[in-house]
Amino acid sequence: MGVFDHLARRIADRPVNVSRRGFLAGTGALVLATTLPLRPARGQTAAADAPAVTAYLELRPDGTALLRSPFIEGGQGIFTAMAQIVGEELDLAPENFSVEIAPPGEPFAIMGGFRLTGGSMSTRTGYPVMRQLGAAARAMLVEAAARSWGVAAEELVTEPGEVIHKDSGRRAAYGDLAAAAMDLPVPAGVALKDPADFRWIGSAVPRLDVRAKSTGRQNYAIDVAVEGMLLAALRHAPRLGLTPAAVTNLQEIEAMRGVHSVHLLDGAVAVVAEKFWQARRAIDAAEIDWTEGEAKWPMPADFSSAGFRDSLATAEGEVVEVEAAGDAAGQLAAAETVIEAVYDAPYVVHGQLEPPSATARFNADGTLDLWMPCQAPEMFQNAAAGAAGLEPAQVIVHQQVLGGFFGRHFLYATANPFPQAIALARAVGRPVKLIWTREEDFLRDAPRPLGLARFRGSVGPNGPEALQIEVVGEGPTQRWYNAPPGQDPSATEGISGKTYAIPNKHIGQIFQANPAVIGYWRSVGHSMHDFMYEGFLDELAAAGGLDPYEMRLSMLSGSERHRSLLERVAELAGGWKQGPFEAADGSTRARGVAMASPFGSEVAVIAEVSIDAGEAKVHDIWVAIDPGQVVNPSTVEAQVQSAVALGTSQTLVEELVYENGEPVARNFDMYPILRPDQMPRVHTAIVGSGAAMGGVGEPGLPAVGPAIVNAVAVLTGQRIRSLPLSKYDLG
């Protein structure tokens, strides 16, 4: 997600300011704030140094701390990581923290700033700032103790939760010092800890939220209850661009139990009722006439994903250069044998398990409260203000813990329920919670774009000699942030940005607009492009009679970091072997290997696969991941498990097919996702190479698919160039 990587890099070295916050003065607590200078990408920035997002630390008299996180928790463990980082410098154990999402509005206003949870960058961007926050608080507590004891601050040390004067044996708990510390000036540029002395950063601190999430006590947007609210269900037009002309059995619907009112919205009909189930029952019974309406991206009535794929395969147009070295065209013209292949990957839905919802309430003072899942609250705030005809400052966004996200909860016109909830709340004059059924979520999700790339390559005795790739299509960063072709990493990443040394290469993008409303999906362009690239690399290896693992090693001779990572994954798997070989259970298995460089991290994967009744069975996935620096290895391990699951799922079974301008699948019956019995064992090696901190939420995914597909090719002799594998009989 290039726009986010760009952000992460930009803020890494900025000075950090910590300030004291008076609004809780007199409570006996020490309250400090700091800002995360996050802003949208170039071109969207209002002012070069617009104040940014605020994070708050409140150290209470009882010695516990409340941290208000600017990043939202959606399963990735960010709340725990934030407690670890602040706790490290503050010298307070992470289990003494509670972490909440920073609430909107004064005094937590973000004043023109921008925050989002995505691009695997929360820890990366929060790290320096959160350390400084903890360090400043600690210095103030030490100073408070020094003054009260009449000694120099330099004579004092801390142990978790207390300040100690070794010479006199005096100790004071943080909670008892908090009030006095609050009266002191905030020191600037406090020295940070030597990483060699870290107690918690780098260790497997337990997640803070597991108990609530194991006992049903974690609330999500769908669980929000507001005094006096009504519930709403709706049905969208089956094809984007149609709009309701009439509900022909309106009286019957209005008379159904619990129904408050029926509403014709832009592109949908909604029923508002006392209970959601009553609304759902009524909307299911509604008979609706649809007519052509106004839409920014209407779906052509004859659109099919299969037809679109074929049009990309043959599309011609300007090839905008993304990466080039040597003379690929000349080398290929002179080559004796040129290998050619076309790879594609389908539309896929996010399938986060919590269906989208939004609760809207207009208040007497003209403000609007919104409770909803979102990964970028300020963007939602602006959009909601536009939808409601209010100033952004009048819209209060209550971000909720997410029941999964994977890119689902960015701002995508037509994919977010909040504009409809706003319209309904205004129409009925009461708060309204709108829940999209799973069927509506499938219908209006912003899926990962169907992608396609055309490869030409030649191989010599030592590996690939020339590679020419045309990536055809549109990336989500162009759609939503106007990144032009050639400068939209989401359209090419995973084909561009590879580390292998190839003397002659040319990678370009041919822009072709995608008729669907497309979005970011976990690991974005990497989720499909690494599959294509690494598959083609194996095709070149096979054509050249080379072992795919050895060939990759030799292509990495210029980068010790990558070379040793590849060797590490082979070692983890008990040594490289391609097979086919017979396993202990009598099955015939093979292994595939692949690498990826997503979101500032490096990853190498080996997959072990067999064929069972015509289907690929994935037994083991070995992952070596190098995120540079590691805050919490158990979080990294969990994120790798999660990324492997999603990577395996999209490789084996996922595909959103469109016919006649509509998605065919509307729920998990027609669109399977990975089942428990399809989950491979996952073996992870975390390598902290010391390089700049990369992401961990998404990087585990991209190399999984190609490793599986490369193993399948060894077993079947069949080179799969179009996902998912469930389209084929591999028997």
Partner 1 sequence: MQLTINGATHDVDVEPDTPLLWVIREELGLTGTKYGCGIAQCGACTVLVDGVATRSCVTPADSVEGQEIRTIETVEETEVGRRVVAAWVENEVAQCGYCQSGQVLAATALLTETPNPSDDDIDGAMTNLCRCGTYNKIRAAVRSVAEG
Which residues of this chain interact with ligand FES, rule CB under 6 A? Answer: 75, 353, 404
**Nearer to partner 1 by C-beta: 185 or 676?**
676
214 binds, among partner 1, ligand FES, none (CB under 5 to 8 A by kind): partner 1
Q: Is the peptide bond before 15 cis (omega within 30 degrees of 0)?
A: no
The region of 149-157, 496-504, 558-566, 636-644 touching partner 1 under the rule CB under 8 A is: 636-644
Tell whether omega for the bond before 107 is within 30 degrees of 0, i.e. cis: yes
Is residue 403 near partner 1 by the rule CB under 8 A? yes
Residues 3, 270, 674, 723: which binds partner 1 (CB under 8 A)?
A: 674
Q: Decide which of partner 1, ligand FES, none touches 694; Cβ closer than 5 to 8 Å per partner kind.
A: none
223 binds, among partner 1, ligand FES, none (CB under 5 to 8 A by kind): partner 1
Residues between 232 and 261 with contacts to partner 1, criterion CB under 8 A: 257
Which of 389-397, 431-439, 542-550, 595-603 is the region at the interface with partner 1 (rule: CB under 8 A)? Answer: 431-439
Cα 312–chain centre separation: 27
| Contact region with partner 1 (CB under 8 A), list: 72-80, 303-311, 510-518, 546-554 | 72-80
Binder among 93, 146, 164, 638 for partner 1 (CB under 8 A):
638
Q: Give yes or no for residue 222 binding partner 1 (CB under 8 A).
A: yes
Query: Can residue 216 be called a binding residue for partner 1 (CB under 8 A)?
Result: yes
- For residue 74, the partner it binds in ligand FES, partner 1, none, with Cβ less than 5 to 8 A by kind, is partner 1
Give which of 24, 44, 130 is closest to 378, Cα–Cα.
44
Minimum distance, C-beta of residue 449 to partner 1, in the bound complex (Å): 20
DSSP string, 63-82: S-EEEEESS--SSS-HHHHH
State the binding partner of 276 from partner 1, ligand FES, none, CB within 5 to 8 A by kind.
Answer: partner 1
The least distance separating partner 1 from the CB of residue 283, rounded to whole angstroms, comes to 13
Q: Is the dihedral of CA 258, 261, 262, 265 positive or negative?
A: negative
Nearer to partner 1, 73 or 378 (CB): 73
Our CB check for partner 1 shows the closer of 220 and 728 to be 220
Q: What are phi and psi of 712, to 5 degrees?
A: -60, -40
Phi-psi region of 105 (alpha: psi -120 to 50; beta: other; left: phi over 0): left
Is 206 a binding residue for partner 1 by CB under 8 A? The answer is yes
Residue (75 or 485) nearer to partner 1, CB: 75
Measure the CA–CA gap between 81 and 630, rounded to whole angstroms.
10
Integer Cα distance of 417 and 152 in angstroms = 58
- Helix H segments across 150-242? 174-182, 210-214
CA distances from 612 to 556, 608, 645 (A): 35, 13, 19
Q: Does 355 bind partner 1 (CB under 8 A)?
A: yes
User: Is the N-terminal amide bond of 724 cis, ω within 30° of 0?
Assistant: yes
612 binds partner 1 (CB under 8 A): no
CA dist., res. 711 & res. 416, Å (int):
39
Q: Distance between CA 349 and CA 364 in Å, rounded? A: 39
CB of 468 to ligand FES, least distance (A): 41
What b/e readout covers 513-525, taking b as 16+ CB neighbours within 10 angstroms?
ebbbbbbbbbbbb
Closest CA to 527 of 625, 479, 599, 444: 599
Q: How far is the CB of 495 from partner 1 (least distance, A)?
A: 25
228 binds, among ligand FES, partner 1, none (CB under 5 to 8 A by kind): none
- By rule CB under 8 A, what string of x and - marks binding of each residue 369-398 to partner 1? ------------------------------
Return the one option of ligand FES, partner 1, none that residue 645 interacts with (CB less than 5 to 8 A, by type). partner 1
* CB neighbours of residue 365 within 10 Å: 6
3-state secondary structure at position 278: helix
Nearer to partner 1 (CB atom), residue 90 or residue 630: 630
State the nearest-atom distance from the C-beta of 648 to partner 1, in Å: 8
Decide: is 281 part of the binding site for partner 1 (CB under 8 A): yes
One of 151, 179, 329, 679 touching partner 1 (CB under 8 A): 679
Spatial separation of the C-alpha atoms in residues 127 and 86, rounded to whole Å: 9
Query: What CA–CA distance (Å, rounded) separates 654 from 494?
Result: 20
Nearer to partner 1, 158 or 639 (CB): 639
Ranked by CB distance to ligand FES, the top (closest) residue is 353
CB of 9 to partner 1, least distance (A): 27
Write out the two tokens for 82.
């934030």
Match 């008990």 to its residue by tokens: 574
Cα 695 to Cα 126, 209, 436, 600, distances in angstroms: 12, 21, 31, 6
Asked if 634 touches partner 1 (CB under 8 A), the answer is yes
The single-letter code of the amino acid at 99 is V
Tell me whether residue 157 or residue 225 sits nearer to partner 1 (CB atom).
225
In the complex, what is the shortest distance from the CB of residue 70 to partner 1, in angstroms, rounded to a whole number? 19
Nearer to ligand FES, 75 or 697 (CB): 75
Burial class (CB in 10 A: 0-12, 13-18, 19+), 105: middle
- Rounded to the nearest whole angstrom, what is the least distance from the CB of residue 353 to ligand FES in the complex? 4
Q: In angstroms, what is the minimal distance from the CB of 211 to ligand FES? A: 14
Q: Does 563 participate in binding partner 1 (rule CB under 8 A)?
A: no
How many chain residues bind partner 1 (CB under 8 A)? 61
The one among 62, 95, 155, 223 contacting partner 1 by CB under 8 A: 223
> CA-to-CA distance for 34 and 132, rounded, in angstroms?
8
* Residue 216: contacted member of ligand FES, partner 1, none (CB under 5 to 8 Å, by partner type): partner 1
Interacting residues of 197 by C-beta distance below 8 A, sequence separation 6+? none
Query: Which of partner 1, ligand FES, none does 681 bind, CB closer than 5 to 8 A by kind?
Result: partner 1
| Contact between 233 and 437 (Cβ < 8 Å) | yes
The one among 613, 677, 717, 731 contacting partner 1 by CB under 8 A: 677
Closer to partner 1 by Cβ: residue 135 or 446: 446
Q: Is 606 helix (H, G, I), strand (E, B) or coil?
A: strand
Min separation Cβ 377 and partner 1, Å: 18
Burial 141-175 (b: 16+ CB within 10 A, else e): bbbbbbeeeeeeeeebebeebbbbbeeeeeebebb
Of the candidates 351, 356, 486, 494, which one interacts with partner 1 according to CB under 8 A? 351
Q: Which of 122, 352, 496, 504 binds partner 1 (CB under 8 A)?
A: 352
Partner touching 641 among partner 1, ligand FES, none, CB below 5 to 8 Å by kind:
partner 1
Q: Residue 99 contacts by C-beta under 8 Å, 6 or more apart in sequence?
A: 66, 67, 68, 69, 73, 79, 80, 82, 83, 208
CB 401 within 8 A of CB 101: yes
The alpha carbon of residue 128 and the mean position of all alpha carbons in its chain are separated, in whole angstroms, by 21
- Beta bridge partners of residue 94, listed in sequence order: none
Residue whose CB is less far from ligand FES, 278 or 710: 278
Given ligand FES, partner 1, none, residue 248, with its beta carbon under 5 to 8 Å by kind, binds none
What is the contact surface with partner 1 in residues (CB under 8 A)? 74-77, 206-207, 209-220, 222-223, 225, 231, 257, 275-277, 281, 351-355, 401-406, 435, 437-438, 634, 638, 641-646, 649, 667-669, 673-677, 679, 681-682
